[in-house]
Amino acid sequence: MILRPAEPDDLQAVHDICVETATQRDLDDLDLIGYIFADPYLALVPELCFVIADDEGVAGYTVGAVDTAEFYARWRAEWTPRFADRYPKPAQETNRYESLVLSLHNPERFLPATLGGYPSHLHINLDARARRQGWGTKLLDALFDVQRQAGSPGVHLTTSTTNTRAIAFYHTLGFEVLDRPGNATVMGLRFDGSGRMEASPSRS
């Protein structure tokens, strides 16, 4: 297994792992998950995308952004228009599909209330064959190096509160729980090792 920066040709493999590892699978159109949680990163910020790969191909990835609010603004300008015809903005939010399509149009919905001090964010998913061998830790080390060198003071993520294994993983890396809105858990890590910051009013 090797760890390397993602390349344009990795898009489909990263998309597939994103879809296959999704914990909530109650959707007819599972590709939508990849269009939201993986593909825009490879398209817009490839320098913040890393993969691990072996003879079978890509076995896992991490993606992220340095300045989440700025990234979501770019997403709305450059990513959402590609899907406007296929996924028109719903007038209501009565199910998970509509909720995801709304997020495709307005990713700022993902901004946690506790963004202050943790402006960067991440997603990570490994195929089962690559888990518990330290690759998740190594992938995040690579991502955090880029985020830290770009001047970010910290990183956050949002996961399902039922994903206790991932939460245990993030705790071992030093993440702390920042918030628990609904069924989600928001966690944050300060790159200088300091503790929790005050909640920021930067949600838009």
Ligand X SMILES: CC(C)(COP(=O)(O)OP(=O)(O)OC[C@H]1O[C@@H](n2cnc3c(N)ncnc32)[C@H](O)[C@@H]1OP(=O)(O)O)[C@@H](O)C(=O)NCCC(=O)NCCS
* Site residues (vs ligand X, CB under 6 A): 21, 124-126, 131-137, 159, 163, 165-166, 168-169, 172
Q: Which is nearer to ligand X, 89 or 132 (CB)?
A: 132
3-state helix, strand, coil in the chain (%, to 5): 40, 20, 35
* Residue 68: CB minimum distance to ligand X, A: 15
CA distance 65 to 45: 7
Q: Could you tell me the smallest distance in angstroms from the CB atom of residue 77 to ligand X?
A: 26
Nearer to ligand X, 16 or 76 (CB): 16
Least distance between ligand X and beta carbon 56 (Å) = 16
Q: 131 vs 203, which CB is nearer to ligand X?
A: 131
Burial bucket for residue 73 (CB in 10 Å: 0-12, 13-18, 19+): middle
In the complex, what is the shortest distance from the CB of residue 4 to ligand X, in angstroms, rounded to a whole number?
16
C-alpha 199/C-alpha 158 separation (Å) is 15
Q: Which is nearer to ligand X, 88 or 134 (CB)?
A: 134
Q: Which residue shows structure tokens 């929790």?
A: 196
Q: Shortest distance, CB of residue 79 to ligand X, whole angstroms?
A: 21
Smaller CB distance to ligand X: residue 20 or 108?
20
The residue sitting closest to ligand X, measured at its beta carbon, is: 136
Task: Determine the Cα–Cα distance for residues 68 and 40; give it in Å rounded to an integer.
Answer: 13
b or e along 125-146 (b: 16 or more beta carbons within 10 Å of the residue's beta carbon)? bbbeebeeeebbebbbebbbeb
Tokens 């390397």 correspond to what residue? 4
Contact 153, 117 (CB under 8 A): yes
Instruction: Tell the smallest beta-carbon distance from residue 85 to ligand X (Å).
Output: 30
Nearer to ligand X, 12 or 133 (CB): 133
